Structure 1
């Protein structure tokens, strides 16, 4: 048999010396089984290396054979490499099959002398070593290992080069691929976040009319977020229908707004939203009157709602909420906006392009404790907005439906300095709501701060998130008790 040399990319003498310190040389003629402290594969590979050291001398150390053998021995397990006969791994290149076909079989050496046994053992070890290197290069997606023969007349082995691969190491394992996919998803979400809150402009002007007859209806618009939304829409050029349950307060607000915006028209309708059908009917009649006068309703803002109504504090255990109060909360927060949307849907689709905004809360996303009925109705609003948005894209392309999720907003009972980093004033909330129009989503947070806070909570363990949420609600219950005692 000719002297065989395996050449490849040299890793340097330092790696070779480190390998030699890990596994001491095995003397020629000594069985690898004596090195019981080494993995069997490493023992075999170093046995072969020592035989080649003896034939080639120290110059062999410049080769990468030992380095590759060491790595292959640590990567390849006994159940993959068969030591009794050649074992093929699915997917090997034709070159590897060619090497196997032209390598002499140890079983063809039939002599019974000690030299024959030694040659048979050496051939077997080299077969295993070559297979190990093929498998190692396949796993690492590297190339350029050449098997050579220094004996031209030898038919023991052909000169074969393992085909190179351009595939990146990042795709060599399923774990790395999943990591890359996860990283791409995170980068994509970050870019979408930046586009939504910092680059994309509002498309609210799309719903204005050239003749100045575009109207917007805002429910619950006599104070707080509703009033700020009315002012923002008047500034944009809309005429506005205001709704409130308090007729006196409503008349006062309309008078103030007409003085502030003399070129716009404001109309009011007073009605209790928890008394659903009469209020929906009254608002529908008001819209019809405006339509008959030449106006067109192009914007509906379902803003009315709340938890601290009907004589109970905002944060109250469900056991302390009467059946009548629970019914009114459901009617106010879920039933009323649903039926009003249904009643005005034909009018708005006919007036298209048109916009429906449903103001919701993060309580409906995380299920805040001590406001269970309110949280459930806001969860309903979120799903209602998403479903109707997808439906409208198919049936009513000119109608935009957008659910807006809000967190802490400044009110008389919630001072801004107590609400923290992500809290908003009513004017800031209205500005952010208008800015999100045309974003293309079914539901989104109004503010980038509240979106960042809400998304970060999703990455927390559920138990930790629940603990933090409950603690925050209990803190607000303390403020609630302080106000009640004053």
Structure 2
């Protein structure tokens, strides 16, 4: 069995107080990395830190409270933690807003600030230092929606396409430095956010979250080959590999962990 060892590495995972971000933080900690967990609320962050430590009792886990959708929040994170070896730009929001013509400027700007500019600002701050050391990993948690733009969430799809483009361009910028940059493309994932969205259906039908998520996937993403939502752990496993020394020849890639939804080779 291949063992991924991140001992001696420091990882920052943004938006990691729940969901996919928390799953990623747990996997990195289990592999021996020091992990900086981020969220906007102290109580929720404390709970996340406890979960990471429960899964990886020997790991060093540090919390940072801050809104990374604002430049001030990103600056505060960099001031508190000036360097890292692994940066996972995971913080993001999504919500179906319906008709394109009803989505106002404020909504577009909010999605851009949180989903796109947080990763731009933090990558700008950390990637240059990684290059100076000759090793680093930058990951953008994008989505299959970056290619398969949902008509009910054009603003979300746009922000995810932007992440893929930034990751590709930054990988080229860092050519030959030992720093890799990739985007990761989950599909429907049984995260806390999806569970919250499915809760009315679960209560109404008595189905499990897994069953309701499978129905959701088949209805909204009928091209899915696995015909179910991925687990948080399945997405985190892809991120763990991409963050590891094993992925040294993988850069500038859009790594798909979306169950085959994207209908191209």
State the TM-score bracket (shorter-chain normalisation). Answer: 0.7 to 0.9
Within 5 Å, give how 1:58-97 maps onto structure 2. none
Q: Which has the higher helix share?
A: 1
Q: Return closer, same or farther for 1:244/1:259 CA change in 2, 3 Å cut-off.
A: same
Task: Kindly report structure 1 stretches of 4+ aligned residues shifted beyond 6 Å.
Answer: none
Question: Where does residue 280 of structure 1 map in the other structure?
Answer: 74
- The SS at the match of 1:345 is helix
* Match 2:231 to one of 407, 415, 425: 425
Q: Return closer, same or farther for 1:458/1:259 CA change in 2, 3 Å cut-off.
A: closer
Question: Where does residue 385 of structure 1 map in the other structure?
Answer: 167
* Match 2:115 to one of 316, 328, 333: 333
Unpaired runs of at least 5, structure 2: 199-211, 219-226
User: How much does 1:441 deviate?
Assistant: 4.1
Within 5 Å, give how 1:44-443 maps onto structure 2. 205=5, 208=6, 212-274=7-69, 276-288=70-82, 297-308=84-95, 314-394=96-176, 396=177, 398-410=178-190, 411-412=194-195, 413-414=197-198, 415-418=212-215, 419-420=217-218, 421=227, 423-437=229-243, 438=247, 440-443=250-253
Counting matched residue pairs gives 235
Larger Rg over CA atoms: 1
Determine the C-alpha separation between the residues in 2 that align with 1:426 and 1:239: 20
TM-score by length of 2: 0.80
Residues 137-193 of structure 1: CA deviation (Å, up to 9, x unaligned) = xxxxxxxxxxxxxxxxxxxxxxxxxxxxxxxxxxxxxxxxxxxxxxxxxxxxxxxxx
Determine the C-alpha separation between the residues in 2 that align with 1:423 and 1:405: 13
The structure, 1 or 2, with the larger RCO (C-alpha pairs under 8 Å, 6+ apart) is 2
Unpaired runs of at least 5, structure 1: 1-200, 292-296, 309-313, 460-486
Check conservation: 2:147, 2:161, Cα contact below 8 A: yes
Q: Return closer, same or farther for 1:202/1:435 CA change in 2, 3 Å cut-off.
A: farther
Check conservation: 1:221, 1:227, Cα contact below 8 A: yes
Check conservation: 1:354, 1:400, Cα contact below 8 A: yes
Residues 251-304 of structure 1: CA deviation (Å, up to 9, x unaligned) = 222134334433111111111222x2111111101213xx6xxxxx21100001
Q: RMSD over aligned Cα, in angstroms?
A: 2.3
TM-score by length of 1: 0.45
Check conservation: 1:364, 1:378, Cα contact below 8 A: yes
Residues 302-338 of structure 1: CA deviation (Å, up to 9, x unaligned) = 0011222xxxxx2422333232222111101111111
Query: Does residue 453 in structure 1 map to residue 261 in structure 2?
Result: yes
